[in-house]
Amino acid sequence: MTSEIRKFRPGDLVEVKSASEILKTLDENGTLDGLPFMPEMIPLCGKKFCVSLRVVKTCYYGETNGIRKFPAEDVVLLDEVRCSGAAHDGCQKACRIFWKEAWLRKAENVNTTIAMPDGGERLNATLKTVAGPNKYFCQSSEILNATADLSRWEKVGKCFEDVRFGNCSVFEMARRIGVWGYWRIRRKLLGPYGRGKNGVTPSQSLHLQPGEFVEVKPMHNIRETLDERAFNRGLFFTPSMKNLCGQQRRVERKLEKIIVDGTGEMRTLRNTVYLEGDFCGCSCVALGGCPRGEFSYWREIWLRRLNGAAQR
């Protein structure tokens, strides 16, 4: 494994190894260094993708939240490859999939014929998806087991690594650090952005469906739905979400159930959607940002339905 560390960089063309090759890298739980290979990944065996990012750190959200690292530093993300949740009771979190370098090889030609996955059934039979009643086993559930804490100075160092490995430019990193610093100072001086005065926060059901257009309400309307911590029924309205106030977006999908980071619990949600092209602005809360690119969660009470075609 040591020889493969830091082998791939953003822009490299890679091929996912065959199922039989991947099976040889896994332990009895279907993991490598604590990171599961999931059934949703098997159909990708033999296919080619570009590396989008080296994962020098990752955020996690659940009962607690923070930033951690993969100790072996051998994890990458592939362009637009997300988990379907098909093998995990239809989880709708749509996480970007983490790939150990041991599961990939350098590819020379994107136009070569792709063979059917080799040994997929045998691999699938060894993979674990359930950990107990209403507890699932996946990369999200195991993120704390597969990663390690970062010290304060390591968090700073990871910002330099993001630049060194080509994940972002110096100027982009400077912008991210500036955003993080601004919101950190503002929170200390003024409290959470957008905080309201509600003890019990209200809800509203618009029964939105994928493909419908909505407009994000003005910030003063959204503030009326939040408590003093800027939460609505346990869901945080992040500072970056304010950038969409007044904008029109298409509903990407309804969000009804997700697996919680670190616990594997399947949690149900109501009156919540993803908006097309809107991803978590982690630079507001994580020094240097985070590569996971999760969708932002929008309560329907923060939106208004648009009748007819919207002007984009």
What band does 7 get if pLDDT is binned at 50, 70 and 90? Answer: confident
For residue 219, give the amino acid letter: M
pLDDT of residue 119: 79
pLDDT of residue 212: 97
222-228 mean pLDDT: 97
pLDDT of residue 115: 55
Mind listing the pLDDT tens digit for each residue in 286-304?
899 999 888 999 999 999 9
**Residue pair 275/252 in contact by the 8 Å Cβ criterion:** yes
Query: Among 83-92, 106-115, 176-185, 257-266, which stretch is predicted with the lowest mean pLDDT?
Result: 106-115
pLDDT of residue 1: 39
102-111 mean pLDDT: 84
DSSP state of 125: H
Q: Write out the E strands in 210-260.
A: 213-216, 231-232, 235-236, 248-254, 257-259
DSSP annotation string for 159-201: HHHHHHTTSS-HHHHHHHHHHHHHHHHHHHHH-STT---BSS-
What band does 110 get if pLDDT is binned at 50, 70 and 90? Answer: low
Nearest to 212 by CA among 254, 243, 240: 254
pLDDT of residue 120: 87
What band does 204 get if pLDDT is binned at 50, 70 and 90? Answer: very high
Contacts of 291 (CB under 8 A, 6+ apart): 53, 55, 56, 57, 58, 77, 96, 167
43-50 mean pLDDT: 95
Mean pLDDT of the chain: 91
CA 268, 281, 32, 105 torsion-angle sign: positive
Mind listing the pLDDT tens digit for each residue in 160-171?
999 999 999 999
Q: Is the pLDDT score of 116 beyond 60?
A: no
* d(C-alpha 159, C-alpha 74), whole Å: 17
pLDDT of residue 3: 41
Mind listing the pLDDT tens digit for each residue in 19-31?
999 999 999 999 9
Q: How close are the terminal C-alpha atoms of the chain, in Å?
A: 48
Domain residues of the chain, as ranges?
A: 2-105+119-152, 213-305
Q: Is the pLDDT score of 4 beyond 50?
A: no
